[in-house]
Structures are given as structure tokens and as C-alpha cells.
Chains A and B, each alone.
Chain A
């Protein structure tokens, strides 16, 4: 048992040890700041490596050729040509196909969950749809390559064994949960008073949804589309596996096309020695990819802030 006053003594004893406490108190914020700064360093690291190596690339290949030519032939011994346009085309085509799936399905799924489903149905459906988002992209790649492409080839006779269509569709499915959950968030934050106001005028649920809720939530919905596009542009494994590596400057999605991401994979999987033009081209392509996705992400944030409705 402690005698009266012993707690006081203990506190006093403790005070003698205070000097070590205050060292800790001073050291901790520094350590924590260091941890926080690592994420900033990561960004700096990304930006610097991309910029430096991209500059080295443009010493060997002209910017004009890179952005205006239509031929990408890095491995040619006779006359290698470096144009990013075929890759941008491949990225664009797969992204467009993906969004043709993800936007309508994602948005209508969100509408169903937010406006039509009962509380019970929503509780069951929502986590199940989110499972789709948790499946690794490599699994989708396998699915596209070994299932979707063969099935599509039954229907479309001219479809090549690697093509832009199949990975585009599968990528769209992968992005559905993202569009659905972000759009649903936006719609759920529209106050119920708006819905009641419209319903009390004799509107059907459909009219309430499309004339009141969606217009009121439009900024969040569009932001979800933009983020979906950004995701599609940066997606790698599905297109690497199922879209092939032909550097085609074409709109024909039944043929093999290479995306920016798939090109990076191709170059790094090969044995491109550091210092060669083909090695540097990797960074120039990655830089373009980085700028595209960063722009999309910032655009999405800008849209959802700038056009947020006040109720």
C-alpha cells in the first residue's frame, strides 16, 4: 500500500526524468514530419526521374517526331522511329470502349442503389458490387484473354486474338464499381427535401431522378467519370495481356493495339540497356502517361469543387 504523499514523491521523482521526456517530445514531431515528407519525396522522385530521362530522350529524338509522327518502330535496326501517337491511339481506343461500358452501367447502378433499392437490397448489393473493385487487374487480364476474346471471336469473325475491344470491355467492367460508388455518393448527398418537393408535384421516380437528383449531383457524377477515365488510361495488365503489342495507328478496335502502359511493360520486360534510345523512350511515354492521369485527377477534383451545388 502507498502511504499518503507517496504519489507526490513519485511525481517529483518522475520530474527528474523529465529531461528525457522533453527530448522525446521534441524528437517525435521531427520523426513524424520525416514520415510525412516521404510521400512528398515520392512525388518529387517520380517527377524528377521522369523529367530527367525524358530530357535525355529528347536529345536523341525530336519532340516533333515524338508527337506528330505516326510510326513507332523502336526495334528497327535500319531506321528506328519514335512516335507516341500509336500508343495514344491504343490508349484512347481501349479507354473509350471501357467508358462506354463503365459510364452507363456505373451510373444506372448508382441510380438504382441510391434511388430505387430498398435499404435491405442496398445493403446486400453494394458490397457485392464492390467485390468487383477488389479483384486484381491481372485476374481481369486473364479473363479478357482466355474467355472474353474467344467468346467475341465467335461473334465477330475478323477479331484478332489480341485486340483493343476485349480488354476495353473488361476494363469497363473493372471500372463500374468506381463510377457507381462515387456517383452514388454524389446522389445520396442531394437532400431528401428535393426529392420530396418533386414527388409532391406528382413526378414519377424516374422524373425525380433525371430532372432533379442527377442535375443536382452532376458535378460529383462527372468527376466520377473523369476519375474512371484516368483509371482506364493508367490500367496496365488487362491491356498488356489482351491487347497485344502491335503499334498500330488505327481506329480498328478488332486489331491488336498497344497502349502507353503496355509499351512500358514491353520495354522493361525486354533487355533494353540503360542509355539506349529505346530505354529513354520508356520515360518519355511514362511522362506522357503521368501528365494525362494527373491532369484527369486534378480536373476531377476541380469539377467536384467548382460546380458543387449549394442547397
Chain B
């Protein structure tokens, strides 16, 4: 197999970031600069500045309706499915603005995978679910597909549970298993970044734990942005945390700092459960 294109060596950081930016020295996959988003007249995201570093888990927390899901969906431009949406500002993915006219949204989404709140496997067999992406990209060879499916299912820590039932409909699995199938489906196209939109909110505690462990493993190879309702989850699995409130980034820092020593009063109120 041919190796993936080498990742760009240099990342420029000319733009000043409003939030104190923890210097990790890691290159950025995403850099959001002055992003504003409107649903009709509702100003849903207000002047967002946010860096997202490679091979880290970035958690986005905040109360319902704070814009955290909207922000996540802006990163792969899924937010454009809403007809009335309007966007200004820029989001750089590996140095190119994803909202540029020349930027192909399909290409972006090939590099940036997404896992949804509710597991949404296709009504196909487990094998076909995972092989779906590679087939779209022109891989027809049965042997290669089998290898990809196995690798992706292993990557999603579900291979042992489903290896004997790859021909069964994905809907015969439990909710937690379905979610990991969706992660495997995402891994099969070897993305650069994985966006996760409250991936465990529909799952029981045991499945949640499995997905959390999986996220920890995945960050070795992928950069992960995870929106979560659950602050303990953010504290457990993320390296960086951004706190959203009313469409703004209130605070962004290393997760440890956010949870032990927040600099903004509102962050403190939220993580100590005073609202939200």
C-alpha cells in the first residue's frame, strides 16, 4: 500500500489568539479564527478563536444550546445542511481555510471523520458498514477490503465481539456496539481528525467506559475533538478543554488547569455545577 501523504511540516501561528494558549509545541490540525455563525437571525457562534492540536483530545464543554455542537459541525461543514446558515471568519485545516470556495467539502470530510450522538450505522451488514468508505474511494479488491475492515474493527476495539458475525445487520448489535461500529466505519477511511458529538450520551455506563478507553487509544494516531455534556468525561479523557457559553469561548486551556484552577468565574460556576 502506498503511504499517506506526509503531513505538512510547518504550522504558522501568526494570528494572535485571544485565549491564553498553552504551548504544547504540537502542530495544529485546526485553527479557528474569528468564526461567526448565524442560523437565520440567531447569532449562534460569536467570534470563536480556537486552536486544536495534533494527537490530542480536545474536549468542548458547556450547557445545552451554548453552540458546542454547532462549532463541532462547523469543523466538517456539516452545519451547512441547515438551509438558513451563514458563516463569516475562517477555520484553517492544516493551513487552508475550509470555507474557501476552492476547498472541496467532500475532501475535508474524508480527512475529518465524525461520530454522532446517536449511533447511526447504515442498515447494512457490519462488514458493509465498515467497507462503505473505502468502497467510495475506489477500493474494490475483496482481500484489501477484508484487511481494512479487520484493522478498523480492531482499531475500534470491537473486532473480538463481531468477527464471527460480519454478515449480520449492524442493527442486530447493542447500542454501544453500534457506536463502536460507527467509529470503525470512521477509521476505515483513515482520517486525520475525528469529531465526536456526545458519542456516549445514548449509551449505558459500561459501553461509555469502553468508548472512553477507545478514545484514549485513538489519540495515538488521530486528533480528536469531543463534545460532551459530561464534565467528568472531559476531565478523564481530554488533554485540552474549551468551555463554551452562549456561543462564545469563555475559556480554553489544558484540561487540568480548567478543572483545578479556572481563570474565569463562569467556568468555575459551570464545572462546580452551579448552572447548566
Measuring CB to CB, which residues of chain A are less than 8 angstroms from any residue of chain B? Answer: 118-119, 191, 193-194, 196-204, 207, 211-212, 215-216, 309-311
7 closest residue pairs by CB, A with B: A202-B110, A202-B109, A200-B114, A193-B120, A309-B123, A197-B120, A202-B106
Q: B182 contacts A197, CB within 8 Å?
A: yes
Given contacts A200-B109, A201-B132, A203-B136, contact A193 B81 (CB under 8 A): no
Would you call B120 and A196 a contact (CB within 8 A)?
yes
Contact of A198 with B132 in the complex, beta carbons under 8 Å: yes
- How far is it, in angstroms, between the C-alpha of A207 and the C-alpha of B136 when the chains are bound? 8
Contact residues, B137-176 vs A (CB, 8 A): 171
CA distance A212 to B189 in the complex (A): 17
Complex Cα–Cα for A200 and B193 (A): 12
A202, A204, A212, A216: which contacts B108 (Cβ < 8 A)?
A: A202
B103 at the interface (CB under 8 A from A): no
Instruction: Tell me the complex Cα distance, A201–B116, Å.
Output: 12
Query: Taking the complex as formed, is B113 at the interface, i.e. its CB lies under 8 A from any CB of chain A?
Result: yes
The answer to whether A118 touches B83, judged by C-beta atoms less than 8 angstroms apart, is yes
Interface residues of B (CB under 8 A from A): 76, 78, 81, 83, 105-111, 113-114, 116, 118, 120-124, 132-133, 135-136, 171, 182, 185-186, 189
Are the C-beta atoms of B123 and A201 separated by less than 8 Å? Answer: no
Q: A202-B108, A202-B109 are in contact. Are A211 and B123 (CB under 8 A)?
A: no
Contact check, B110 vs A216: say whether CB atoms are below 8 A apart: no
Interface centre among A198, A202, A211, A309 (most CB of B within 10 A): A202
Give the Cβ gap from B220 to chain A, nearest Cβ, in Å.
22
Q: How far is the CA of A207 from the CA of B133 in the complex (A)?
A: 10
> Would A196 and B136 be within 8 Å (CB), given that A201-B113, A202-B106, A202-B109 are in contact?
no
CB distance B110 to A311 under 8 Å?
A: no
Are A199 and B116 closer than 8 Å at their CB atoms? no
Complex partner residue of A200 from B113, B135, B136, B171, CB under 8 angstroms = B113
Complex CA distance for A202 and B112, rounded to whole angstroms: 9
Shortest beta-carbon distance from A20 to chain B in Å: 58
Expressed in whole angstroms, the Cα–Cα distance for A8 and B120 within the complex equals 62
User: Chain A contacts of B105 at CB under 8 A?
Assistant: 202
User: In the complex, which residues of chain B have a beta carbon less than 8 angstroms from the beta carbon of A199?
Assistant: 78, 81, 109
30 contacts between A and B (CB under 8 A): A118-B83, A119-B83, A193-B120, A194-B123, A197-B116, A197-B121, A199-B78, A199-B81, A200-B76, A200-B78, A200-B109, A200-B114, A201-B110, A201-B185, A201-B186, A201-B189, A202-B105, A202-B106, A202-B107, A202-B109, A202-B110, A202-B133, A203-B106, A203-B109, A203-B136, A207-B136, A211-B135, A211-B136, A309-B123, A311-B171
Given contacts A201-B132, A201-B189, A203-B109, 15 further A-B contacts (CB under 8 A): A194-B123, A196-B116, A200-B109, A201-B109, A201-B110, A201-B185, A202-B110, A202-B111, A202-B189, A204-B106, A207-B136, A215-B122, A309-B123, A310-B123, A311-B171
Q: Which residues of A contact B108 (CB under 8 A)?
A: 202
Across the interface, do A194 and B120 meet the contact criterion of CB distance under 8 Å? yes
B123's partner among A119, A200, A204, A215 (CB-CB below 8 A) is A215
Does B114 contact A194, Cβ atoms closer than 8 Å? Answer: no
Q: How far is the CA of A202 from the CA of B189 in the complex (A)?
A: 10
Residues of the B chain whose Cβ atoms lie less than 8 Å from the Cβ of A118: 83
Residues in chain B near residue A310, CB distance under 8 A: 123, 171
In Å, the complex CA distance between A131 and B182 comes to 43
- Of A118, A191, A203, chain B has the most CB atoms within 10 Å of the CB of A203
Rounded to whole angstroms, the CA-CA distance of A199 and B112 in the bound complex is: 11
State in angstroms the CA–CA spacing of A193 and B105 once bound together.
18
Q: In the assembled complex, how far is the CB of residue B172 from the closest CB belonging to chain A, in whole angstroms?
A: 9
Which chain B residues lie closer than 8 Å to A200 at the CB level? 76, 78, 109, 113-114, 116
The distance in angstroms between the C-alpha atoms of A84 and B168, with both chains bound, is 46
A118 to B123, CA, bound (A): 26
Shortest distance between the CB of A310 and any CB in chain B (Å): 5
CB closest residue in chain B, given A201: B133
Contacts of B123 in A (CB 8 A): 194, 215-216, 309-311
Chain A residue numbers with a CB within 8 Å of B122 are 194, 197-198, 212, 215-216
